[in-house]
Structure 1
Amino acid sequence: MSTLDRRIVALLRQVIAWLVDRDFVAVEARSRGVRLSADLIRQAVDEYGRTLVTPPDEAFWDIDAIPVANSDERVWSVRFDLWTQEEGRSDLSLECTVIIDRGSLHLEIDNIHVP
């Protein structure tokens, strides 16, 4: 796993921890509110109707991260299945964009939904 991969995994782990803790304001702050506000994130989780839990470590071994072609910066489109107390790996997924600009990681939450 490369340094870049570790940084993206660490970022995802933090976002997932906030989602599990229902700290939607922290998710919005980290993503600068681009695309989804704390209220929209809360609504998506509440509508799913199950209790989010921290995924097992092995869930982070195979993250669906695809480099975005023809972008000026290094940009990754990331999809990660969320886990619930009731189901284990659920149908609910987090979709986000990670932008690496001058060594900093920027996050945009694109969607939280059942594909």
Structure 2
Amino acid sequence: MEINKGIKNNLKQLVIELINGNFSKLVSTGQAGRLTEEEIRTALYECNGELTPPPEEAYDTIEIYSVENGTNPAWAVDFDLWINNERSDLTLSCTVIQDDKGEFQISIDDLHVL
């Protein structure tokens, strides 16, 4: 499946927020999904390194699957995060929903080793 630019841009922004440690912002905007600030912090702390920006081409390897979500288009997204400037086994799993205005809303489902 070709990666939609809106999905890719939302994912990039979410990764930047994680790298910058803006966990409270993610929680307040609903982008943290079911996770709390502490759960995000713990998952990233346990990765034994520093979360670093992935190279641009890493966003071409997003695993994306169309999912049923009522009337609006939705996708499940898995993306390998980068630790100490290397691809890690820590995976960011998200749901992206396109709202009635055509805007993409992203939220974290999980941060886990995959």
Short-chain TM bin:
0.7 to 0.9
Residue 101 to residue 69, structure 1, CA distance change in 2 (3 Å): same
Deviation at 1:5, TM superposition (A): 0.8
Letter in 1 for 2:24: V
One-letter amino acid of the counterpart of residue 15, structure 1:
L
Greater shift, 88-97 or 42-51, is seen at: 42-51
TM-score, length basis structure 1: 0.86
Corresponding pairs, count: 113
CA RMSD of aligned residues (A): 2.1
Code of the residue aligned with 1:37 in structure 2: it is: T
Unaligned runs of 5+ in 1: none
Q: How far apart in 1 are the matches of 2:48 and 2:28?
A: 24
What percentage of residue pairs aligned between the two structures are identical? 36
Q: Distance in 1 between matches of 2:15 and 2:32?
A: 16
**What residue in structure 1 maps to residue 66 of structure 2?**
67
Partner amino acid, structure 2, of 1:7: G
How far off its partner does 1:63 sit?
Answer: 1.0
Q: What is the letter of the counterpart of residue 74 of structure 2?
A: V
Unaligned runs of 5+ in 2: none
Q: Do the aligned residues in 2 keep the contact of 1:44 with 1:112 (CA within 8 Å)?
A: yes
Say whether 1:48 aligns with 2:47.
Answer: yes
In structure 1, how many angstroms separate the alpha carbons of the residues matched to 2:64 and 2:70?
Answer: 15
Shift of 1:69: 3.9
Instruction: Answer 1 or 2: higher relative contact order, Cα 8 Å, separation at least 6.
Output: 2
User: 1:38-70: CA deviations, max 9, x gaps?
Assistant: 221111111222100000000011211111147
Is the alpha carbon distance of 1:70 and 1:45 closer, same or farther for their aligned partners in structure 2, counting shifts above 3 Å? closer
